[in-house]
Structure 1
Amino acid sequence: MGRKRAVLVGINYAGTEGELKGCLNDVSRMRRCLVDRFGFDEDDIRVLADADPSTPQPTGANIRAELERLVGDARPDQDFTELVQKVPDGCVFTMVSDSCHSGGLIDKAKEQIGNSTKQSKIQQRDREMRPSPGVTVTCSCDSLLRIALHHLPRRRGGVHNHRHIKSRSLPLSTFVEMLRARTGKDDVGVGSIRATLFHHFGDDASPKIRRLVNAMLLRHNHGAREDIHDKAKPEEDDSEGEAAPVAARMPRNGVLISGCQTDETSADATTPEGVSYGALSNAIQIVLAKGRRGGNAITNVELVRRARELLAKEGYTQQPGLYCSDKHANVAFICSNH
């Protein structure tokens, strides 16, 4: 089998209102799992963790750099959905996102397990049928911002009576406060988030933010402030327009396991003994440890279905999703050799 490489990202946001407890533990457990169960070489696993000074910080720029390393011909101005399109045939890009709903991270990927597409249509219809009481803010994972409803676990049969549960969502108000603290500007508000991200992070801002700021400048400033315009504009591509057709294709080689559905958030749990983890990450480790009858490898579909069953049994309301082509739905999770 060919070379296997991985990038693991853990962000606990220590010391902030959005602080989590289990993300770094999830990264550590997955690292051991990749080495011990799936035969990864330690040197082929890169870790980015906000509480570990020995690793690069998990900034958007550093994460993109690691993903670009995995996908050889990627360009710095491409966002995540475009990077997945660059995965060559014969390779598979598997992503486990134990945070908020992240189904859109693989653009146009088929939803093999989940009801987000149906829910999104219903929610859109409901929004169209009722007047909005104020400003509606829609964000995406590409802009490193996610707003979601807090669907915490149901407490059935005392399963969670002695376990601390926190939602792995980042409320807009908390995000704004974190951005104010990072930039030192008290006037950051909902309407200035994108501009603030661009002006503070510059070339390290996500490609999507740079494109949005560029479009805003073109629309509102009519070509003024060319210095900012040039900086916001993505790097020129010598391939004469290849990027658009690539982004329009259905992804062939990407597999995404998302922690929950669009109207849910993933849970961050801490046991009475002080052990913290993400609910999905913990379920995945349990399913892999139990294995499959006959010793056969667990498929992507089977992993997500069994994780769903386990989470429901433990009282969690979040429902993980699987996004990939039909070709990869029933192949082994990550790789077949243990």
Structure 2
Amino acid sequence: MANAKKRMALLVGCNYPNTQYELHGCINDVVAMQELLVERFGYEPTSIELLTDGPGSKVMPTGANIRKALNRMVDEAEEGDVLFFHYSGHGVLLNKHHLKREEAIVPCDFNLITDVDFRQLVNRLPKGATFTILSDSCHSGGLIDKEKEQVGLNCPPPRDQTNSKPGPHLSKPKNIPYESLLSHLASLTNLVESEIGTHLTALFGEEASLKFRLPEVDLDQLFGQVHGSDSGILLSGCQSNETSADMPGGPGRKAQGAFSSAVQSILKKQRALMSNKEVVVLARKMLKAEGLDEQHPCLYCSDENVEAPFLLWDVGTKK
């Protein structure tokens, strides 16, 4: 692979304060990742953009603002560049067609960013650049549309999440049920419509996801082919049918996402070069050891990126 020219990162943490969907560890997740990128991976602080919905935030992590920041990274990318997106917040599983799973992340204004949007970003990358997504959210498996699953095939079959038991330490799932999201959006549009896309396009217009703005036949034409050298890399906090845990704070520890915490702990302890696969496998082992045995992190990428170094980091690049 080409040597990295630039390293750029967008880190998004949504706690949804003062709402019924409030979480507690998501901002901590991305603040900790910002420190890790600088100290361990040699990122320049100016190459990292942080978007949170915390007090005093100048730029809120709305759907439009997240898209603008992602598009800006891709527009600036050149051959050999390393792009990184860490998202911590709610996810939602879209049951639009019922026959296939469609995943999305939930910005602070509920303007969903979907698997189709991430597919478009990856397809726009110049040859030799990579785009790694670390998504600590529910239903995050498969968040890059049509990306190949590399770690996850041996997970248990899908199960009913409706009556699932809470994880250890009073953890909270990073999940907004589809029907709850639909009801919330309908209360804003006052439209009698069962399709979530209708509400999103009514509220956000051209800033809504491509998934809802284009007919499915057009989406298939745009994103129907995925090349073997595809440069998208997804480390998901769980399978598409599972939830990711938001762990509350306590004596001696901050509230944090279980997957984000595991990955960061691994990267701090393991000073040697680590592949994308190793990071995910070790995170699985750590979550299981902590009693989170119903959350299975997964890896989605091309065959050539399975054993590639996480963020293409090399010992010689560290400051």
Name the TM-score, length of structure 1 as normaliser.
0.72
Task: Measure, in 1, the Cα distance between the counterparts of 2:222 and 2:180.
Answer: 38
Give 1:103 shift. Answer: 2.9
1:174 equivalent in structure 2:
180
Structure 2 unaligned spans of 5+ = 78-115
Structure 1 unaligned spans of 5+ = 124-146, 155-159, 216-233, 235-240
Is 1:315 aligned with 2:318? no
Task: Measure, in 2, the Cα distance between the counterparts of 1:207 and 1:31.
Answer: 29
Question: What is the aligned counterpart of 2:63 among 55, 60, 63?
Answer: 60
CA contact (8 A) 2:166 2:172 kept: no
1:296 equivalent in structure 2:
272
| SS in structure 2 of the partner of residue 5 of structure 1 | strand
Question: What is the aligned counterpart of 2:147 among 109, 118, 126?
Answer: 109
Give 1:280 shift. Answer: 0.2
Task: Measure, in 2, the Cα distance between the counterparts of 1:205 and 1:153.
Answer: 33
- How does 1:230-309 map onto structure 2 within 5 Å? 244=221, 247-250=224-227, 252-273=230-251, 275-291=254-270, 295-309=271-285
Task: Measure, in 1, the Cα distance between the counterparts of 2:152 and 2:193.
Answer: 31
Deviations 1:98-136 (A, max 9, x none): 00122332222221100389947xx8xxxxxxxxxxxxx
Deviations 1:58-84 (A, max 9, x none): 12221111111111289xxx8221111
CA contact (8 A) 1:252 1:325 kept: yes
| SS in structure 1 of the partner of residue 199 of structure 2 | helix
Task: Measure, in 2, the Cα distance between the counterparts of 1:12 and 1:268.
Answer: 10
Deviations 1:258-316 (A, max 9, x none): 1111221000001323721100000001111111xxx4211111110000000001000
CA contact (8 A) 1:150 1:265 kept: no
Identity level (%): 39
Structure with the largest fraction of strand: 2
- How does 1:12-161 map onto structure 2 within 5 Å? 12-72=15-75, 79-115=117-153, 119=157, 151=164, 160=168
CA separation of 1:33 and 1:64: change in aligned 2, threshold 3 A: same
Task: Measure, in 2, the Cα distance between the counterparts of 1:73 and 1:307.
Answer: 31
Give the structure, 1 or 2, with the largest relative contact order (CA under 8 Å, sep 6 or more).
1
Task: Measure, in 2, the Cα distance between the counterparts of 1:150 and 1:96.
Answer: 27
| SS in structure 2 of the partner of residue 34 of structure 1 | helix
Which runs of structure 1 show a deviation greater than 3 angstroms over 4 or more consecutive aligned residues?
A: 52-55, 116-120, 147-154, 187-190, 243-247
Task: Measure, in 2, the Cα distance between the counterparts of 1:66 and 1:152.
Answer: 37
Give 1:153 shift. Answer: 5.8
Deviations 1:33-53 (A, max 9, x none): 111111111111111212244
CA contact (8 A) 1:94 1:254 kept: yes
1:139 equivalent in structure 2:
none
Larger Rg: 1
| SS in structure 2 of the partner of residue 202 of structure 1 | helix
| SS in structure 1 of the partner of residue 214 of structure 2 | helix
CA separation of 1:260 and 1:246: change in aligned 2, threshold 3 A: closer
Give 1:247 shift. Answer: 4.6
CA separation of 1:180 and 1:254: change in aligned 2, threshold 3 A: same
- How does 1:223-234 map onto structure 2 within 5 Å? none
Task: Measure, in 2, the Cα distance between the counterparts of 1:83 and 1:246.
Answer: 11
CA separation of 1:270 and 1:190: change in aligned 2, threshold 3 A: farther
| SS in structure 2 of the partner of residue 47 of structure 1 | strand
Give the letter aligned to residue 196 of structure 1: H
